[in-house]
Amino acid sequence: MVMFKEMIDVPAILALASKLGLRVTDSKISLIGIESVQSIDNTNSKSLSYISSLDYVKVPAHSLKGLVLLPSNLIGTEYFQEISTSYIATDDPKYLFACIYHEFSKSQTIPSFFSKAEVEELFAKKCLYISEDARIARNVEVGEGAIIYGNVYLLENTRIGANVTIKPNTTIGGDGFGYATRTGYPPMKIPHFGGVIVGNNVDIGSSVSIDRGVFANTVISDSVKIDNGVHIAHNVVVGERSLIIAHSEVSGSVVIGNDVWIAPSVSIREKLKIGNRAFVGLGSVVTKDVEEDSIVFGVPAKPA
């Protein structure tokens, strides 16, 4: 949960929407104000959340609480008819959500890192090796037997399992590249509140970036192997024993199954699923889901 500096009343939100040129097509307000930002999957009576598409909503409408920002095209649907909580329907709920957060949230804080002495005291005894040049934020856990090389950054809300190796110049837990855009207005950064969970016996190469999730966590499961120069975006889940080879890019919210091989220089479009035991060939651009046990190659990637 991320708290605002103070309770925000609904008129202030409606005034901000008007300032941004956002058309409010419908609203129902039965609460005094909001105090925090929450995922649509975890709302409470004083939270703000948003829906951009029903494709990514897992909870029933009647369970929603607090104030929900909805897309105008949801009006009249069966899901909309079952919403009982307060809502504002607008043409761009994602952009409004981002602007509310930046307008009213607490000032952004710089990560607080453990000192070298604290790293030595807290981690050195259980790690096989941890470089004095590694930087570890205070809300980070590192498992037994870890090997962490120089210039590695482990940022807040990161959990590293046992027997994990992280090679130099890698960053785990930074914000993803997520922006709400609206023509004629500046792109607004989507805040990230999740973390990164790295399982046991994972190897992570040099110059790798693994972004934390927006609300949920980015997950790297047990025995995954990640080569040098790989980028893994927010909310990605990588299944057990999968290998992601050099210079591949995995976009946001991709789910990779178990025992998958991602060859060098592969690009995977956001929100796709790569089935268990799939093989994605060299330099492929994946634009559609990949079935289990399949082999795909090419631009765009197609079954071999």
User: From residue 255, how far is each of 98, 155, 237, 248 by CA, in Å?
Assistant: 25, 22, 5, 15
Tell whether 154 and 260 lie within a shared domain: yes
Tell whether 121 and 65 lie within a shared domain: no
Residue 71 lies in a domain: yes
Tell whether 145 and 9 lie within a shared domain: no
- Vertex 270, ends 283 and 105: CA angle to 5°? 135
Q: Quote the number of domains for the chain.
A: 2
95 bridge partner residues: none
Tell whether 191 and 51 lie within a shared domain: no
Structure letter (DSSP) for residue 84: -
The closest of 182, 177, 142 to 158, measured between CA atoms, is: 142
- Structural domain ending residue among the three candidates 104, 139, 167: 104
* CATH code of residue 287: 2.160.10.10
Residue 103 backbone class (left: φ over 0; alpha: ψ -120 to 50; beta: rest): alpha
Tell whether 132 and 263 lie within a shared domain: yes
User: Does residue 48 sit in helix, strand or coil?
Assistant: strand
Q: Are 20 and 95 in contact (CB under 8 A)?
A: yes
User: From residue 171, how far is each of 93, 135, 156, 158, 190 by CA, in Å?
Assistant: 31, 10, 11, 11, 20
Q: Say what the pTM is.
A: 0.91
Question: What range defines the domain where residue 179 resides?
Answer: 116-303
Tokens 């040129």 belong to which residue?
21
Residue 111 lies in a domain: no
- 16: burial class by Cβ within 10 Å (0-12, 13-18, 19+)? middle
* CATH code of residue 66: 3.40.1390.10
Would you say the C-alpha torsion 15, 16, 18, 22 has a positive or negative sign?
Answer: negative
Residue 234 appears among annotated catalytic residues: yes
Tell whether 97 and 128 lie within a shared domain: no
Tell whether 178 and 258 lie within a shared domain: yes
- Structural domain ending residue among the three candidates 61, 82, 104: 104
pLDDT tens, per residue, the chain with 304 residues? 566 777 888 899 999 999 999 999 999 998 888 988 889 999 999 999 999 988 878 899 999 999 999 999 999 999 999 999 999 999 999 999 999 988 887 656 678 999 989 998 888 888 889 999 999 999 999 999 999 999 999 999 999 999 999 999 999 999 999 999 999 999 999 989 899 999 999 999 999 999 999 989 999 999 999 999 999 999 999 999 999 999 999 999 999 999 999 999 999 999 999 999 999 999 999 999 999 999 999 999 999 8
Tell whether 93 and 141 lie within a shared domain: no
Residue 110 lies in a domain: no
- Structural domain ending residue among the three candidates 83, 104, 125: 104
Tell whether 205 and 258 lie within a shared domain: yes
CA pair distance 153, 182, nearest whole angstrom: 33
User: From residue 232, how far is each of 211, 213, 237, 238 by CA, in Å?
Assistant: 6, 11, 9, 9
Locate all alpha helices (DSSP H) within 25-163, ordered by sequence.
78-81, 93-104, 116-122
From 62, 192, 231, 234, the catalytic residue:
234
Tell whether 94 and 191 lie within a shared domain: no
Tell whether 84 and 120 lie within a shared domain: no
Tell whether 214 and 273 lie within a shared domain: yes
Tokens 């409004």 belong to which residue?
96
In sequence order, the 6+-apart residues with CB closer than 8 A to the CB of 108 are: none
